[in-house]
Structure 1
Amino acid sequence: MRTDIARTDIATRADLERLLRRFYGAAFADPLIGPFFTEIAGMDLEAHLPHITDFWESTLLRSATYRRNAFAPHAALHEREPMTAAHFGRWVQLWSAAVDGLYRGPVADRAKAQGERIALALLRRTSGEGTDGGEGGFVPLSAVLLRS
């Protein structure tokens, strides 16, 4: 397997679909956050993928295709099983690794930064964690554990 192949930037919806499939493959298999997707939410990736691709296409490629409430399903999930800073940190770690594994460039960098911002916002809105900067707040685990 060649490791010297140049990675391009995220530029199309197809690039996002590829990224999201890679990310969700890792997330579903992850022992910490996988159960949120597979057991608690019972997520059907094929049904969910068009919506989440719309979200990221709107966020990163400025398409204005996403017209849903991104917070509502996360709030409902948090009601069923509380999500903590560790869960959101692991999400950031897997998201950043998926981006880094496929893409390189300004849009890829924005995807990683936006992922951290979204994770922090969801953590704050669902549980109030990370709002005081004190112990128990959000620590982007990607900065610490990403390359393991």
Structure 2
Amino acid sequence: MRVTRDVPDIRGRADLDVLLRRFYTAAFADPLIGPFFTEIAGTDLEVHLPRIGDFWERALFRTAAYRHDAFAPHSAVHSVQPLTAAHFGRWVQLWHATIDGLHEGPLADRAKAQGERIALALLRRLAGRDVSTDAPRGEGGGFVPLAALTLRAAG
């Protein structure tokens, strides 16, 4: 028997703001990726949230005016401590779990797919080579395709 939930899709900026706060709170606390935000980048969540909200609003709704270089901060962090496929894989896991805990529908699915595409694109660009998600063991750096995982929303 399939359990159905009465969960809304992502409807607009207000939903994104709640989603992003919950996601980044979890990401900052995560033992694998949290130090990249808190120790290496010294990210101020209150400064980061409006900017990243603009990014996602533009990505999902084409309404915000995001005019920043999304690659530059990742490159700066990577120059201090390399970001690996395992780090991006964990980011994607948390992203999916956060979305699944709050939303379901076409925009939620688009946000999850877009998150995967962005993570893989950043990983490839930072690595300076083509990083495949199905590379032989030891060559892909630990990236796990999310289709192979069962994620549970943090509860």
TM-score of the superposed pair, with normalisation by structure 2: 0.86
| Partner AA of 1:125 in structure 2 | R
Task: Tell me the residue number matched to 1:74.
Answer: 74
Residues 30-74 of structure 1 show CA distances to partners (whole Å, capped at 9, x for unaligned) of 110010011111100001111100000000011141111111111
Q: Percent identity between the aligned chains?
A: 66
Residues 81-136 of structure 1 show CA distances to partners (whole Å, capped at 9, x for unaligned) of 10000000000000000000000110000000000000000000001362484233
60-69 vs 14-23, which moves further: 60-69
Task: Tell me the residue number matched to 1:16.
Answer: 16
Task: Tell me the residue number matched to 1:134.
Answer: 135
1-side partners of 2:148 and 2:27: how far apart? 18
**Do 2:133 and 2:144's aligned partners in 1 also have CA atoms closer than 8 Å?**
no
**Do 1:85 and 1:129's aligned partners in 2 also have CA atoms closer than 8 Å?**
no
1-side partners of 2:115 and 2:26: how far apart? 16
CA RMSD of aligned residues (A): 2.0
Question: For 1:97-136, what aligned pairs fall within 5 Å after superposition?
Answer: 97-127=97-127, 128=129, 130-131=131-132, 133-135=134-136, 136=139
Gap change, CA 1:68 and 1:130, over 3 Å in 2: same
Consecutive unaligned residues of structure 1, counting only runs of 5 or more, are: none
2-side partners of 1:147 and 1:36: how far apart? 24
Please state how far the C-alpha of 1:143 moved relative to its aligned partner: 3.3
Task: Tell me the residue number matched to 1:40.
Answer: 40
TM-score of the superposed pair, with normalisation by structure 1: 0.90
1-side partners of 2:96 and 2:68: how far apart? 24
Please state how far the C-alpha of 1:5 moved relative to its aligned partner: 5.6
